[in-house]
Structures are given as C-alpha cells and as structure tokens.
C-alpha cells in the first residue's frame, strides 16, 4: 500500500534530477560554444590588429560589440554572471602579473615618486575635475557627480599593460603608466565607496580613515606579492632548490591566484599583490636566481599566450556587454564629460603630479604622452556594475557615462598610442611592432 507512493516520489525526484542534469549540460554546451566563438573571433581580430598595427584591445572591443546582443547576438554572457566575474578576476590578475614581470627595478628607482603621487593624489584630482564637469554638464546632484568622477578616476591595467606590451615606448614612461594603473585601483575604489557612503547617508567621508585604509591595503598587498614572488623565483630558478622548474607555468597560475586571494583575504588589494608578484618574479636575477635558457623561453611563451587569451576573453565580453540603450539616454552629455576627463582632468593630473618630481626629471614630451594614456576599462566598469547592483544614487547615469568612457578611450586613445609616441620621439622603433 505504501510502496506505490514511495516509488512515485522516487521516480519524480529522479525525473527532476534528470531535468536538472539536462539543463546543466545545455548550459555547459552553451558556455563552451560561446567560449569557442570568442576565441575564434579573437584570434582573427588579433591577426587583424597585427596587420593594421594597432593595439589588439581596441579590435577586441569592436569585435565584442559586433557579436554581442546589440548586433549579431552570437554571445550573451551577462555582466553579473559568475562566469563573467571569474574571467574578469583571473584575466585582469594574470594580465597584471604579465605587466609586472616586464618592469625593471633600475627604472622604478627613478620614477617611484611620480608613481606614488599620481596613483594617490592623482586619483583625487581626476575625480574632482571630472565630478565638477558632470555636475555642470549633466545637471546631476553634486554628490552623484562626485561619485561618477570617482568611478572614472582610476586607469585600467588590463588595457594599458597589453598596449605597452605591443607598442614599445621609452621604458620609464611605459613602466610609470603601467605601475600607476596597477596601484590606483585601490585608491579609486576607496574614494568611490567613501563618496558612496555619503551619497547613501550611511556615513561620512573621512580623509584620515581613507588614508589609513590605503596605506594598509598597499603595504599588505606589496608584502603578499613580494613574499610569493620570491618563493616562486626560488622554486623555479634557484640552482639548488628549483625542483619546480619544469612546472614553472603552473607555478605562475597558482601563485597569481595565491597572491590575489592572500591579499584579498587580508582586506588588501589583490591586484596590487599580483602586480608586485610579477615584478619580483620578473626581476629574479636581482636576487641571484637564473633559469635555464630553454625553460625561461618556454615560460615566456606560456605567459604571453595565456595573457593573450585573457585579453581576448575580457575585451570581447566587455564589448558584448555595452548597453547602447542606456548610453543613448546620456550620449551627448556623456561624451562631453569624457572629453573633459581626457583633455583637461588627465593633463592637469599628470602635470601636477609629475612636474614636481625632480628625481625623475620628466620632459614635456614624456608628460604629454602620459596625458594621453589613461584608458578606462575593466576596473571602472566593475565599480559601475557594483553601484548598479547596490542601487546607488544616479547609478544608471554613472554606468552609461562609464561605458561611453570605455568606448572613447579604448577606441580613440589606444589606436593612436604608437602614432603619438613616434611624434613625440618616445617610440623604440627597433622593438615596435
């Protein structure tokens, strides 16, 4: 008498489980297909970028727009999906590691003062000027305008590192801009959420606490990255203890994740930790470590390929997620605000922060070039997405102008980087693509 209901219940549960499994398989197939499309189109876009000699991130962004929901509809991966967040976190981290590995201690010693000032005070200057522009141009409340300025104030390492990997600019200029982009994300986030606390009436902005938070995040991030970088160099390049030499590519993957989560777990900047990890590993010869030539070449090729794949995924997805419906509501005002950001806020920031650095002795052409290289990308997009999710005041306006900034800076500044570097006499022709 009781067996039939139990069998019926069991059959129903098995059927439900079967439906869930079938649904999971379909989602997995869709994800794999989307990944295959992105990589195939990304490869073609990369070849095109090489032919026309422009940084590939600009072509990837255009390709993403073309295959996204707004055009062909070949891919549709939501910005708030777990898959997208995984790609952004790991991709940006690995690109930062790659950029850090390209920096040299000898150059950083000359320009570290500019890097510190422009990555801290520079963020505040940019946020203030851009916020004032938004207040007068868009007519939004002043606190919303400041929130927009703070969101756009940090530059994007995931964009700038690949650009300077492809366009060889004078070392100290390229390394200053890349280092700034790695270090200013923490300051940008601190200022953004400080202003947000005031905007939502949950607290008052305190320069003292913000400065303490920035110092804490910086110190912990630098220490975590340095420790893991030294350990990684020891295990892959020490003449006696390098038992992981053949597994050096895997060591970089594990250490990138380890550096990010070690710092993040201590409430510090994971991106800063990853960047410092790359710097230490890239300068392992300064610690007396040296890899065999064949192993070093294999690691270099692996890192370059992995970084390329991450660029493809990040920027094609970023292009596919551009909300043109939202942008159209604030198009003209947004273009005006971004133009002020590019042509007034950035130059003021560079000259105010770099000119007083007598140690670096920046030339006018070098500072002019740095004024033009401040692409907006993954980090500001992530901040705008968080504000939307938190229903912050003016979040839709901020998201729209952020996407306009991404499109304008990547599509205008990135392709003209090599041309401007050449005109200013900063391009290393022998290494350029």
- pLDDT tens digits along 138-185: 988 998 999 999 999 988 777 888 888 888 888 899 989 988 887 887
Q: What is the pLDDT of residue 431?
A: 47
Q: What is the pLDDT of residue 419?
A: 92
CATH number belonging to domain 82-423: 1.20.1530.20
Averaged pLDDT score across all residues of the chain: 84
Cα–Cα dist 95/181, whole Å: 12
Cα–Cα dist 115/46, whole Å: 31
Neighbours of 53 (CB within 10 A): 13
CA distances from 246 to 43, 236, 240 (A): 28, 8, 14
Neighbours of 119 (CB within 10 A): 26
Cα–Cα dist 375/406, whole Å: 7
pLDDT at 68 over 90: no
Domain borders along the chain are 82-423
- pLDDT tens digits along 283-321: 888 888 888 888 888 888 888 888 889 888 888 888 888
CA distances from 422 to 49, 216, 408, 428 (A): 18, 40, 22, 8
The pTM of the full predicted model, rounded to 2 decimals, is 0.80
- pLDDT tens digits along 91-149: 888 888 888 888 888 888 888 899 989 988 899 999 999 999 999 999 889 989 999 99
Q: What is the pLDDT of residue 333?
A: 92
Q: What percent of the chain shows pLDDT beyond 70?
A: 92
Higher pLDDT, 174 or 11: 174
pLDDT at 16 over 60: no
Q: Coil, strand, or helix at residue 427?
A: strand
- The residue count for the chain: 433
Neighbour-count burial for 298-330, b at 16+ CB within 10 Å, e otherwise:
bbeeebeebbbbbbbbbbbbbbbbbeeebbeeb
């Amino acid at each position: 008498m009781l067996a039939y209901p139990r069998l019926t219940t069991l059959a129903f549960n098995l059927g439900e489980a079967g439906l869930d499994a079938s649904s999971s398989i379909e989602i997995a197939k869709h994800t794999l297909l989307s990944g295959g499309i992105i990589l195939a189109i990304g490869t073609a876009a990369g070849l095109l970028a090489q032919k026309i000699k422009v940084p590939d991130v600009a072509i990837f962004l255009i390709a993403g727009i073309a295959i996204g929901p707004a055009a062909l509809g070949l891919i549709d991966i939501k910005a708030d999906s777990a898959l997208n967040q995984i790609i952004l976190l790991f991709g940006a981290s690995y690109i930062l590691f790659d950029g850090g590995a390209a920096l040299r201690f000898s150059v950083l010693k000359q320009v570290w003062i500019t890097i510190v000032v422009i990555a801290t005070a520079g963020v505040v200057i940019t946020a203030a000027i851009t916020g004032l522009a938004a207040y007068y141009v868009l007519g939004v409340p002043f606190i919303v305008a400041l929130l927009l300025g703070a969101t756009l104030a940090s530059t994007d390492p995931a964009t700038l590192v690949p650009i300077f990997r492809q366009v060889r600019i004078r070392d100290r200029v390229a390394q200053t801009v890349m280092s700034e982009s790695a270090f200013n994300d923490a300051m940008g986030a601190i200022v953004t959420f400080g202003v947000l606390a005031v905007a939502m009436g949950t607290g008052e902005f305190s320069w003292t606490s913000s400065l303490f938070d920035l110092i804490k995040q910086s110190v912990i991030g630098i220490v975590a990255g340095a420790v893991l970088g030294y350990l990684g160099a020891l295990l892959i390049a020490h003449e006696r203890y390098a038992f992981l030499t053949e597994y050096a590519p895997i060591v970089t993957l594990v250490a990138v994740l380890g550096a990010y989560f070690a710092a993040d777990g201590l409430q510090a900047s994971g991106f800063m930790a990853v960047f410092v990890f790359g710097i230490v590993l890239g300068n392992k010869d300064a610690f007396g470590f040296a890899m065999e030539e064949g192993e070093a070449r294999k690691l270099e090729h692996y890192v370059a390929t992995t970084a390329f794949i991450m660029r493809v995924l990040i920027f094609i997805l970023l292009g596919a997620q551009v909300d043109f419906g939202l942008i159209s509501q604030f198009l003209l005002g947004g273009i005006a605000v971004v133009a002020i950001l590019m042509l007034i806020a950035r130059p003021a920031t560079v000259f105010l922060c770099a000119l007083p650095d007598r140690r670096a002795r920046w030339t006018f052409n070098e500072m002019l070039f740095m004024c033009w290289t401040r692409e907006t990308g993954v980090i500001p997009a992530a901040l705008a997405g968080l504000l939307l999710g938190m229903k912050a005041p003016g979040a839709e306006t901020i998201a729209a102008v952020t996407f306009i900034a991404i499109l304008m800076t990547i599509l205008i500044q990135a392709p003209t980087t090599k041309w401007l570097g050449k005109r200013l006499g900063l391009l290393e022709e022998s290494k350029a693509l």
